[in-house]
Amino acid sequence: MIDLNAIGRKARAAQIQIATASSAAKNRALEAIADSLLAHTEQILEANARDLDAARASGMSPSLMDRLALTQVRVQAMAQGVRDVASLPDPVGRILSGGTLKSGLEMQKITVPLGVIGIIYEARPNVTSDAAAICLKSGNACILRGGKEAIHSNTAVANAMRAALPQAGFDENCVTLIEDTSRETSRELMRLHSYIDCLIPRGGAGLIRSVVENATVPVIETGVGNCHAYIDRTADLEMATEIVFNAKCSRPSVCNALETLLVDAEIAPTALPRIYARLQEKNVEFRGCEKTCRLLPQAVPATQTDYEIEFLDYILAVKVVEGLDEALEHIRRFSSHHSEVIVTRDLEAARRFALEVDSAAVYVNASTRFTDGGEFGLGAEIGISTQKLHARGPMGLEAMVSYKYVLYGQGQVR
């Protein structure tokens, strides 16, 4: 097993340097990293080919294989992603508030980096460069632990980045990839309290649960989206149909995709067949409550589990509800607090839904698919938080900083 304490110590030392680096210096490092990724394209693609061979041999599904696969164009996109982060405003050193206190002390509340960020993620190798770029720009060092399916690709990407850091005057340990993908090492990382200031797991419900259960370091939970749409009795059915189609079908494997449809009983007899017909373009399976099955013979009966999980597939859980109160109650019970939408023409229903639904993003008459750092204008995104502490919803550079108070006096005592 590798020595995580040694890795932590080195990351901490590197972080102290980058924490106080100028924006210009950090941007030079990011540009050097982008250049280095391009210069190492051949090595990265060779390493990726080894991962793809292993994946094929293990019978990985075509959609996962596609996530894992790199091409020259994808490596160029990774490099461009790093340059895009360089072009964003520096989140460090912003004065959030300040003024003179009653004691005469001049106070400034100033943004500072979080420190050392641990990131545990799954198959996609582009996360390695995306996450590292966001961490560097915000003055943080990062310790990355990717999935074993992508280990050769991730190592090649990390090596290309580390090679560039000293050229720009930075310690290569600003970015560290843990090459040991064992579960034990992952668990140890979750408990590396002296060296990890914040741990961000990016992946499915199983990974998030394991981190929550095992981590003693501060964690930001991300990415589990059991998202709901509620079709109010006053809804424009054309709009409702298109929103449900888009939210369920445009990319079913992502966390902001729709998983459960709630329909007011008053309009269910017309709404359900119409929505069902539209979603047959993608052969979506409906799993419904008793009333749904009565109104829509094509639906199969839903179990409680169907309301609890993310399908991440062309499957939709459906329930007919007696109005807004029952919809809100269902959402409170089953939502993962990611994204929910009401389709309505009723002002009071919209107001209550926006106020009472306790999720990171609450929509009135729009698809849940908009919950995304780019769509929200954040420029880059390191994940979508589903917890309430620190950061909620899409996390950009601003979620990667803390603050400190600096107080200037002339000998004040209390």
Q: Give residues in contact with its own copies (CB under 8 A).
A: 16, 19-20, 101-103, 105, 107, 112, 114-115, 193, 197-198, 212-213, 215-216, 218-220, 236, 239, 242-243, 245-247, 250, 332, 350, 354-356, 358-367, 369-371, 375-377, 387-390, 392-393, 402-414
- Other CB atoms within a 10 A radius of the CB of residue 180 amount to 15
Q: Which two tokens stand for residue 19?
A: 């924490």
Q: Which of 173, 176, 201 is nearest to 186 (CA)?
A: 201
Q: Which is nearer to its own copies, 78 or 249 (CB)?
A: 249
Q: Closest separation between CB of residue 46 and its own copies, Å?
A: 36
Residue 198 vs 271, nearer CB to its own copies: 198
- Closer residue to its own copies (CB): 219 or 284: 219
State the amino acid at position 112 in one-letter form.
V
Chain centre to alpha carbon of residue 345: 31
Residue whose CB is less far from its own copies, 148 or 352: 352
Decide whether 51 or 310 has the Cβ nearer to its own copies: 310
Q: Are 99 and 107 in contact (CB under 8 A)?
A: yes
Of residues 2 and 212, the one with the C-beta less far from its own copies: 212
Q: How far is the CB of 407 from its own copies (least distance, A)?
A: 5
| Amino acid identity, position 347 | L
Q: Which residue carries 């929200």 as its tokens?
A: 376
Which contacts of 377-380 are long-range, i.e. CB under 8 A and separated by 24 or more positions? 379/84, 379/85, 379/88, 380/81, 380/84, 380/85, 380/88, 380/130, 380/133, 380/134
Q: Token pair for residue 228?
A: 């709901």
Considering Cα of 203, then 205, then 208, then 214, what sign does the dihedral take?
negative
The nearest distance, CB 170 to its own copies, in angstroms, is: 17
Nearest Cα to 186, choosing from 116, 120, 115?
120
| 173 DSSP 8-state letter | G
Q: How far is the CB of 237 from its own copies (least distance, A)?
A: 11
Smallest separation, CB 142 to its own copies (Å): 15
Q: Rounded to the nearest whole angstrom, what is the least distance from the CB of residue 6 to its own copies in the complex?
A: 17
Task: Give the Cβ contact number of residue 253 at 10 Å.
Answer: 12
